[in-house]
Amino acid sequence: MSDGRVAIGQAAVDQLLEVLDLDPTGEMTFRGMSPPVGPQRVYGGQVAGQALVAAGRTVDPERFVHSLHGYFVRPGDPVEPIAYEVENIRDGRSFSVRRSVALQHGKPIFFMSASFQRAEEGLDHQAPAPLDVPPPQEVPTMTDRLSRYPERLGIWGQISRPIDVRYVGEPGWVRPGDRPADPHQRVWMRIDGKLPDDPLLHACALTYASDLTLLDSVLSAHGEVWGPGGLVGASLDHALWFHRPFRADEWFLYDCLSPSASGARGLATGRMFTTDGRQIASAVQEGLLRRVGA
């Protein structure tokens, strides 16, 4: 990567770190902001990542997040601060559980339950990583992909991108007809710069990234696309399990599959693997999907 490319990537990562660095407003309350340029509603991965930051700051740092379950209940306003209220559900000998609620204008826009565990030894196994996937260095960059579809960029062309995203197949924002049906949506990802050595921060960054392409797998199963001539969507809920230690600023493969779609909703599942095949996390999400203009 050239020095200029490194500087651009790290600048976007530094902005992400500012977004995830919540201001404490009380013992169990925090305030978060959105990036200065963004979509018309708060990106779901941002509010989930911030909610996890809030929850994690109330837990013993020797306990690491192992799962979270959240619901998106209202669209967030990107120009308004987001208040986060954390409830201590339980601190046991091995586990701590927190409920984290994001509010704007006095109403919840997202709420999450997150569980943290002290390090323990136990059984260890995993399903194998996909074998038929080219390494990230052999996959087109996001800049290469975007250059083919300037008319479909919209606001996304103006947003700084703290995540290096490389689609193995066609992404969901190509022109209608340019995307063959594929049961899998596979994407290489990494935070496009250096993160501090804080496991909670890496978990929050991975949470931020996990919402970015997961619903693409629902459209991919049908060869469908986002935007004009395709569909619009919104995340309804999101669950994430962390299995093994990882760094979010190192490459991981996000292998996504949609087992079902019906009733204008689509279910998506995802597994995350390091380049050496370790499964570091699993995700499940359901989203609302409607035809443009419907």
**Active-site residue list:** 211, 235, 285
Give the HSE-up count for residue 66: Cα atoms under 13 Å, Cβ half-sphere: 14
CA–CA distance, 180 with 169 (Å, rounded to integer): 9
CA–CA distance, 236 with 87 (Å, rounded to integer): 22
Kindly report each contact of residues 203-206 with a partner whose C-beta sits within 8 Å and lies 24 or more positions away, as own/partner. Answer: 203/52, 203/56, 203/64, 203/65, 203/242, 203/248, 204/20, 204/49, 204/50, 204/52, 204/53, 204/56, 205/16, 205/20, 205/49, 205/248, 205/249, 206/240, 206/242, 206/246, 206/248, 206/272, 206/280, 206/281
Contact assessment for residue 117 and residue 93, using Cβ atoms and an 8 Å cutoff:
no
Contact assessment for residue 167 and residue 184, using Cβ atoms and an 8 Å cutoff:
no
Kindly report each contact of residues 262-265 with a partner whose C-beta sits within 8 Å and lies 24 or more positions away, as own/partner. Answer: 264/288, 264/289, 264/290, 265/236, 265/289
173 phi and psi angles, rounded to 5 deg: -105, 20
3-class DSSP state of 28: coil
Two tokens, residue 167: 């689609």
Q: Which residues pair with 191 in a beta bridge?
A: 163
